[in-house]
Chains A and B, each alone.
Chain A
Amino acid sequence: MNDSRSQILNSLRHRLPQSAPLPTMDESWIQFPDPIAQFRDSVVAVGGQTETCKAADLADTVGRLTVFDESKRIVSTVDGIAGNVDLQQVADPHDLEDVHLAIALGQFGVAENGAVWIDDHSLRHRVVLFIPQHVILVIPSRDVVHNMHEAYRRIDFAENHFGVFISGPSKTADIEQSLVIGAHGARSMHVVLVD
């Protein structure tokens, strides 16, 4: 095993092609006149839905959604919204198989592609983002950035083991290029923007 390592590294050190300097990336990347509106459009374009509300109305806004109404087992990591599955009591992620809905706090949204960044800090089981039938992500509307360059500037990788950009519900077009929502993961994705 170690042999292959030194063999590979040695042959990569040999015959070095001319090195190119790394680009600085101080370009002027895309900016939108109204990033929040653009974010909403992007979420819809990738098959998701958005809601907007005041902080005080968050629980009501989420409660009014049909997916909330119809779900029996709910995981919520958002203060003020009650779920009925306590992640801290779940030792094995397999036990989350029949969770219908997960409601989680995302860190920020990206206007250009409707993605929400979320890490597993508060989640314990990251599968909770992928295994439920439906997912609702909540973000503060002031935390919408224009583009991916700004997005990565906000992430501190020293702090997390797992983080994901989620852009809309799970989807596939593997059968004759027909778009089907709900491949393996969430069948629907709501993003709630809190003012």
Chain B
Amino acid sequence: MSSKTDHPALATVFVRDEARTKWHDEALWFVRTKRDRAAAAVPEWETLRTTAEQIKAHVVANLAELLERFEQNAAARGIQVHWASDGEEHNRIVLEILKKHNVRHVVKSKSMLTEECHLNPYLEANDISVVDTDLGERIVQLRGESPSHIVLPAIHIKKEEVGETFHEHLGTDAGASDPQYLTEAARQHLREQFMKADAGITGVNFAIAETGGFVVCTNEGNADLGVSLPGLHIACMGLEKMIPRYQDLAVFTRLLARSATGQPITTYTSHFHGPRENGELHIVIVDNGRTDLRSDENFRRSLSCIRCGACMNTCPVYRRSGGHSYQSTVPGPIGSILAPARDAHQFHTLPFACSLCGSCTDVCPVKIDLHHELLTWRREIARRNALPRSKKWGMRLASAVLRRPWLYRLAGSMARIFLRWTPRWILYSKLNTWGRQRDLPVPPAKSFRQMYRERQKRS
């Protein structure tokens, strides 16, 4: 992606369809309320969050030792461990393994990492077909789109649109839009794919240093089907997925699904500790910017993310602008921290796609200080000169006024008069982008200072 991501512009396109925006907003809020109910049912919820936060802080601090320990233990179990500095190297390693086994068809279960590395187009360019097997991911794949959410990849698509896509690609009845019927059609179609696959690729939710194994969580069972039929399983993981002890899994499995969808645990929580009979098991550990992120004191904590998606579901901006308006693999609050860490110029608008309400920080199961980091990013982007001119001037002006009390008082009284008497067509002209979808409040007749002074006099 060479052009810069313009979140406000893309969001404007999204909100033009008011009914759809409302539908999208409500669908995500529904998931958020399920999360709330699930969290409230666990009396020790806050203890769990704090414990998870501490474990992850320990992990980020001790990554080198943990990764080495993991590698040693995994190798002892017959798992082959590979290391990739970036997405390109990751893709090359995966291709090499596949080629060695003459693989033509791959089934893949949800993995944000392989999205991040653009593995699918790379393999397809090398004559290997890749089928995404998570239902939501298959829908977006057939439509030639990318996921708009990390847990609910097709949350932006209506069932009628899924019906059209399936009619075209899977031969379902024209006009059919019943989720039950469409899911059944996908089940039949994907079974064929599972049966003919030569290899299965999965992501990793947690990798355990102490045992050398790893855990994959799904609701559909697609990861398990995908790797228990063919003999070759390749698991791809970002290096931050490490946890020290298998006991830590108790904390994370309790938090993950409750935070994501309000379920008490995912349907299948699979623990891989070695290859199948006559099979091979590979794991590719990927850096791709993560070590840099770790050395950055301001944003280091974002490495703790377990990709539950709760911060997206609760975010008022995400809910009303859609995942695609972020143009990054991980959208929403956490994506708006991770993306600029990768490329501050391309993603300079994302930290501003935030009202600083702090709701993301409240729901995050590993207690990442999301809205603080977003605020820090704004400063950082200004410092790096990545701000557009209109914003820069506005901020300079504001800072000049705020530094001089007399000027602030003058500006206040002028604003109260100006807002009252200026005609709407001037007030809501093109220059005021803020006023495009909003009305400015009616200003009070007196300032707070004036009222306070009068009150003091009276008493």
A177 B27 Cβ-Cβ under 8 A: yes
Q: Cβ of A42: which chain B residues have Cβ within 8 Å of it?
A: 264
Contact digits for A157-178, partner B, Cβ 8 Å, 1 yes 0 no = 1101111111111111111111
What is the bound-complex CA distance between A153 and B272, given in angstroms?
Answer: 17
Given contacts A16-B61, A20-B57, contact A4 B287 (CB under 8 A): yes
B221 A186 Cβ-Cβ under 8 A: yes
B30 at the interface (CB under 8 A from A): yes
Pick out which of these stretches binds chain B: A59-67, A75-83, A121-129, A136-144: A121-129
Given contacts A161-B275, A174-B154, contact A184 B187 (CB under 8 A): yes
Given contacts A93-B229, A113-B265, A130-B224, contact A148 B182 (CB under 8 A): no
A148 B60 Cβ-Cβ under 8 A: no
What is the bound-complex CA distance between A173 and B44, given in angstroms?
Answer: 28
B61 A20 Cβ-Cβ under 8 A: yes
Residues of chain B from 229 to 261 with CB closer than 8 A to chain A in the complex: 229, 239, 244-251, 253-254, 261
A33 at the interface (CB under 8 A from B): no
In whole Å, how far is A182's beta carbon from the nearest beta carbon of chain B?
Answer: 7
Residues of chain B from 184 to 208 with CB closer than 8 A to chain A in the complex: 184, 187, 190-191, 194-195, 208
Interface residues on B, range: 35 or more
**Between A and B, how many residue pairs show CB distances below 8 Å?**
242
B55 A172 Cβ-Cβ under 8 A: no
In whole Å, how far is A161's beta carbon from the nearest beta carbon of chain B?
Answer: 4
Contact digits for B266-284, partner A, Cβ 8 Å, 1 yes 0 no = 1111111111110000000
In whole Å, how far is A174's beta carbon from the nearest beta carbon of chain B?
Answer: 4
Q: Cβ of B171: which chain A residues have Cβ within 8 Å of it?
A: none
Q: Cβ of A14: which chain B residues have Cβ within 8 Å of it?
A: 295
B180 at the interface (CB under 8 A from A): yes
From B64, B194, B225, give the contact of A13 (CB < 8 A): B64
What is the bound-complex CA distance between A126 and B277, given in angstroms?
Answer: 10
Given contacts A175-B179, A183-B220, contact A151 B250 (CB under 8 A): yes
From B251, B264, B271, B294, give the contact of A157 (CB < 8 A): B271
Q: Cβ of B246: which chain A residues have Cβ within 8 Å of it?
A: 152, 155, 157
Q: Cβ of B269: which chain A residues have Cβ within 8 Å of it?
A: 115, 164-165, 167
Most A CB atoms within 10 A — which of B51, B195, B211, B224? Answer: B224
Q: Cβ of B228: which chain A residues have Cβ within 8 Å of it?
A: 93, 125-127, 130-131
* A interface: dominant SS: loop
B91 at the interface (CB under 8 A from A): no
What is the bound-complex CA distance between A168 and B269, given in angstroms?
Answer: 12
From B51, B83, B93, give the contact of A25 (CB < 8 A): B51
Given contacts A174-B154, A175-B159, A177-B27, contact A184 B190 (CB under 8 A): yes
What is the bound-complex CA distance between A45 and B41, given in angstroms?
Answer: 13
From B152, B158, B184, B248, give the contact of A174 (CB < 8 A): B152
A30 B63 Cβ-Cβ under 8 A: no
B353 at the interface (CB under 8 A from A): no
B291 A164 Cβ-Cβ under 8 A: no
B54 A185 Cβ-Cβ under 8 A: no
What is the bound-complex CA distance between A148 and B266, given in angstroms?
Answer: 13
B376 at the interface (CB under 8 A from A): no
What is the bound-complex CA distance between A39 and B212, given in angstroms?
Answer: 31
A21 B58 Cβ-Cβ under 8 A: yes
Q: Cβ of A97: which chain B residues have Cβ within 8 Å of it?
A: 191, 195
Given contacts A1-B82, A12-B67, A130-B221, contact A22 B54 (CB under 8 A): yes
In the complex, the chain B residue whose C-beta lies closest to that of A48 is: B267
Q: Cβ of A110: which chain B residues have Cβ within 8 Å of it?
A: 265
In whole Å, how far is A33's beta carbon from the nearest beta carbon of chain B?
Answer: 14
A171 B267 Cβ-Cβ under 8 A: yes
Q: Cβ of B63: which chain A residues have Cβ within 8 Å of it?
A: 12
In the complex, the chain B residue whose C-beta lies closest to that of A161 is: B274
A147 B250 Cβ-Cβ under 8 A: yes
What is the bound-complex CA distance between A28 and B42, given in angstroms?
Answer: 12
A167 B264 Cβ-Cβ under 8 A: yes
Q: Cβ of B266: which chain A residues have Cβ within 8 Å of it?
A: 167
From A17, A23, A27, A164, give the contact of B268 (CB < 8 A): A164
From B54, B219, B248, B274, give the contact of A20 (CB < 8 A): B54
What is the bound-complex CA distance between A148 and B44, given in angstroms?
Answer: 13
Given contacts A21-B58, A23-B51, contact A185 B220 (CB under 8 A): yes
B136 A184 Cβ-Cβ under 8 A: no
Most A CB atoms within 10 A — which of B51, B89, B211, B268? Answer: B268
What is the bound-complex CA distance between A180 and B183, given in angstroms?
Answer: 7
B68 at the interface (CB under 8 A from A): yes
From A46, A162, A183, give the contact of B222 (CB < 8 A): A183
From B55, B84, B220, B265, give the contact of A184 (CB < 8 A): B220
Most B CB atoms within 10 A — which of A46, A124, A173? Answer: A173
Q: Cβ of B373: which chain A residues have Cβ within 8 Å of it?
A: none
Q: Cβ of B172: which chain A residues have Cβ within 8 Å of it?
A: none
Show 15 residue pairs from A and B whose CB-CB distance is below 8 angstroms, ordered by the A residue: A11-B295, A17-B60, A17-B297, A29-B44, A110-B265, A130-B224, A147-B250, A161-B274, A162-B274, A165-B253, A170-B221, A175-B139, A180-B179, A183-B183, A184-B190
Known interface pairs A16-B61, A164-B270; 4 further A-B residue pairs with C-beta atoms within 8 A, sorted by A's residue number:
A17-B294, A175-B183, A177-B27, A185-B267
Closest 7 CB pairs of A and B: A185-B221, A113-B264, A174-B136, A183-B220, A161-B274, A127-B228, A178-B179
Using CB atoms and an 8 Å cutoff, list the residues of chain A in contact with chain B.
1-2, 4-5, 7-9, 11-23, 25, 27-30, 42, 45-46, 93-94, 97, 110, 112-115, 124-127, 129-131, 147-149, 151-153, 155, 157-158, 160-178, 180, 182-186
